[in-house]
Amino acid sequence: MSRLLEARRALAESRSTAVFSGAGLSAESGIATFRGNDGHALWSKFNPLELASVAGFDENPARVIEWYNWRRTELAKARPNAAHTALAKHPGLVQITQNVDGLLERAGCPAAAVLHLHGTIGADRCNAACGHEEAVDLAQPPPLRACPRCGAHLRPAVVWFGEALPPAVWNEAQRIAARLECLIVVGTSATVYPAAGLIEDAVAAGSTVISINTEPSASFAAEHIELVGAASVLLPQLVDGLALATSL
Ligand code: NAD
């Protein structure tokens, strides 16, 4: 039996399935990944500690906002790809994502079914954590500005290196991962913790793990089902025609 058929059979038998995605899900929408060997990965061009950390923001907030605004305008021009669309056909499937791009929702996934572990690039929040948050127009993002409530700087509502994940979202993701029969892992290098630990949580709970990635993983355990190729091609082949849901 091919690996694809084996994976579809596991999904057909699963009573509770969820998806854990990373930047590779959006790569074919033209959104650069962070790591990867295609020469376009963001961290091969930029220093993460300058652009995605509290220390980097404190040192030069205008530079950080300029970089995020460049990513926002790129995202405004992007469209969901066939991988997002394939997932959106299963509205009962919980999407646990590291992506901040909002493309799953733009493809039609119900907002309530998407758990954003790393926040969203489509909003700014107060850097002093006064609680103020506001949506940002991706096509015309504003320059560095002050929080209207407390006067501190506003910053992208994403999780930076060294920051904790949003507790409610993280707790819910862990709760779900521990109850799954199948976890579909798409387009993630699974190197950013604690998010990547969800795969281990699912395995510990006895879940079958099906991964889709353009690069084979040396660390992927032999008992997992690894599908090597582009998400826009493999994901529709994997999930089309099946009845998939996350039983909570
Ligand atoms: P990553 O860049 O570390 O890994 C991306 C993975 O996707 C790699 O393993 C690569 O081989 C694979 N990949 C590339 N193109 C693919 C394709 N077409 N189909 C299938 N797989 C493909 O990304 P990550 O694991 O998500 O981890 C890191 C962090 O990057 C996350 O915290 C996330 O917040 C952030 N990030 C998000 C976006 C986004 O929102 N689109 C973009 C860049 C980075």
Instruction: Say yes or no to pLDDT of 181 above 90.
Output: yes
The predicted-structure confidence for 144-167, as pLDDT tens digits, reads as follows 999 999 999 999 999 999 899 999
Atom of ligand 1 nearest to the CA of 190: 25
Mutate to test the pocket of ligand 1, among 33, 75, 227 (most ligand atoms within 8 A of CB): 33
Q: Give the C-alpha separation, 243 to 188, whole Å.
A: 24
Bridge partners for 53 per DSSP: 161
pLDDT band at 38 (very low <50, low <70, confident <90, very high): low
Query: Cα(186) to centroid of ligand 1, in Å?
Result: 9
Report helix, strand or coil for 146: strand
DSSP 114: E
Report helix, strand or coil for 236: helix
Q: Give Dmax (Cα) for the chain.
A: 61
Instruction: Say yes or no to pLDDT of 235 above 70.
Output: yes
CA-proximal residue: ligand 1, atom 6 (nearest)? 188
Could you write out the three-class secondary structure of 176-194? HHCCCCEEEEECCCCCCCC
Atom of ligand 1 nearest to the CA of 37: 11
Upper half-sphere CA count for residue 105 (Cβ side, 13 Å): 13
Q: Give the C-alpha separation, 98 to 117, whole Å.
A: 5
Task: Tell me the H-state helices in 61-160.
Answer: 61-77, 82-88, 103-107
Domains parsed from the chain with CATH numbers: 1-31+80-118+165-248 (3.40.50.1220), 32-77+121-158 (3.30.1600.10)
Atom of ligand 1 nearest to the CA of 22: 26
Residue ranges around ligand 1 (CB below 6 Å): 22-24, 26-28, 31, 33-36, 41-42, 98-101, 118, 187-189, 191-192, 212-215, 230-231
The predicted-structure confidence for 71-123, as pLDDT tens digits, reads as follows 999 999 999 999 999 999 999 999 999 999 999 999 999 999 999 999 999 99
118 is catalytic: yes
DSSP 34: S
- What CA–CA distances, in Å, run from 216 to 22, 169, 197, 211, 213? 15, 29, 19, 9, 7
